[in-house]
Structure 1
């Protein structure tokens, strides 16, 4: 048997084990799941030294490979960071359990009682990059919603992820939750990712978390249903009726509060009627924050330091201190730009006009539309969901920040009293 065949057989063994665990996990009550999450949190804190030691191996290898320092920072774990991860698990335990919730129900004219109730998705595969904290966050959210987690992090964090999963499995052995409810996809090769993407019938859904190339690869190659998340080419549109002081604050916050995340602004659009007054102020404020502006001809006319925008810039998710900028002739022109170049994540309008706000929110087809607020608010925690598995930019099965309810499906429970259907 070749190494590739052995890896596939090992994957299938793990996937079948996960499938079996899903059947045991789904009917468990909230108390059992919450107790398991608290056991995981305690085990993470108790096992911090062991986790840090494994993480040091990953970090050393990353440095040998010339990995940029900001990526090493994302990869690195410390006792303090592990304690914060454990606290996040406890916060998930405190959230309401969506499983069993009645979405809708009624008694039909024939007397049948109909209820649509939330149920776990089953086995959730998560493919992600870099940060080992996602290993724990994703596992906790899956367990709380009654799902088994099959985790495939990047090879750069394999030692860290292996120990984190082992610690969580050890903690689960003392609870009612099956230890196999948290699984690490075996192997670090590209083939191990393909095995997960082709595991239709064993894995119910895949959630990719990472950059555009990762997400596009999973969407295009997977035979397992995929919830597309994360790519954020978000825009801020400054309307002709905008309060310009408010607009400046929202633009700077949207771009610079944390530029490396999917809900940071990557484009700003300015109505021509306020461009002469607003653009110089915006360019100065962004320059003070170290932002490089890639602008159209009108934007560049205000400042020689503005870089000429290319077609690629309008599509770009920079995730850095860069932003594309354009002057538009109308609100409808701004909407047309967003519809052509946007990723369907988050767009913001700054305006004092209710009619402009209503038209913008009606025409913009994105997961979230902000009116006089920063794009940075598109986040499960900020929306009051407590936590999120990701931000969906598609329209089926979930859209926007995905909290615990979005990690469930539904089924219909129909109760009768010997009912028979006639012709």
Structure 2
């Protein structure tokens, strides 16, 4: 049986999604046998046609939400787990925008979802109100919002950050309570905004101290995520966040104090544009070049990386507890092939490729005798997808079918061996006749 991972990814064509399946088994030697793309047409029904999808998220009740290049938010009628998925738009909302605006975030929260534009506009859509045809609530944040994060799909709080917007945690209900205040921005003097929390804001980080030249470090976050709760901890929202900055650093925050608890320079080219936490101490990151690695936030050291990547990763998703093909000398797998200590990493890149990447456990560092110990590799590839975020929908088992071409080549090889035996017998007969003539 082959382990196949399923994703819903965007397409460059309008009103279209891809159902992507990628196998990580080493027996799948070619890209054609290890991955497949199924085009899914989205029926807009009585709503406006959907453009090219840029952002995708899955809400707490399993609904799929799309943000397209026409600045529309569309909630689909079906789940990707269903057989013969034929999605249809059941509700749609168009977000007012400025020229040149880009989608910078789309996250699930309690009973709905929040989207953000790079100009600073954040919008909350409740699923119940959206289905009832009620309008959404918007809020203008002073600055450029470039990242959104939620601790869990059913959370009542969310975090945001961006250019000249330090990491901030907000309450969903209080942030979007007053539509009149929200539409007019947060207001107040610049000095007051830096020292006091605005309406709905629960916590805000304090910037790093001045550098050796007494210059203020720029505030420019490109991505943001909550770190998972430690294993064995009680349920609730995590108090730790990590951000990637334009300066190429990873910053870790603890909401019990305002200043970042650590900052480590890890990018090799440009800023850190995508992150995917593994646990409370480890995080995957991708810079604006083609470098993807895993870092230990306690030491700031690079644990391992992925050599040979040809394109930058714009979105990363860590697949926790993924089934991985077991090796004969590895006893870390259970009876159904689930790994007991590591998962996989999925990425999407501007070269229209969704990649499935292996993860290397910390017990295998690089050394003289094992130079590849600190490096991971690409185990599956699916080309032809669009550029944007994607979601993981689970894994399934698929029987391994031997390709007909291989069987034909084996049969052809067998016939060639038979022909060689015939010629060898003929050579032997000729040599016997020659010996008789000599005698």
TM-score normalized with structure 1 length: 0.25
- Structure with larger Rg: 2
Greater fraction strand: 2
- Larger relative CO (CA 8 A, sep 6+): 1 or 2? 1
TM-score normalized with structure 2 length: 0.24
Greater fraction helix: 1
